[in-house]
Amino acid sequence: MRKVVISLVVGVALSASAPAALASTPRADTYVQVWCTTPDTPPGGDPIQAESVDAHAIQPDKAPGGKDDAILRFGQNHPGWNCWWVGPITP
């Protein structure tokens, strides 16, 4: 019986904390979206959004380094993927 009560209390606590972890408002900071086409993308098909990152992470003037360099390496590590960043996007 004790195990059931403990499990119930933990379950209620976890389910109550899950909505609090979700963003209640959209992003308020400037961000950049990373879009990619994959080998499975049909010709003329829609690209997929791989991630959104803080605009301050993109440092085109920093060589080597910065998120733009990481995006380039990501594409090199995934043969056939073509990735680019779009932005900055200000909400």
The total of structural domains in the chain comes to 1
Q: Is residue 83 part of a domain?
A: yes
Residue 11, domain member (yes or no): no
3-state DSSP of the chain: CHHHHHHHHHHHHHHHHHHHHCCCCCCCCCEEEEEEECCCCCCCCCCEEEEEEEHHHCCCCCCCCHHHHHHHHHHHHCCCCEEEEEEEECC
Residue 17 within any structural domain of the chain: no
Q: Specify the pTM.
A: 0.53
pLDDT digits (tens, 9 = 90+) for 56-90: 766 666 666 667 677 777 777 888 888 888 877 88
Residue 48 binned pLDDT confidence (cut-offs 50, 70, 90): confident
In a domain, 62, yes or no: yes
Q: Which residues span the domain enclosing 60?
A: 23-89
Please check whether residue 43 lies inside any domain of the structure. Answer: yes
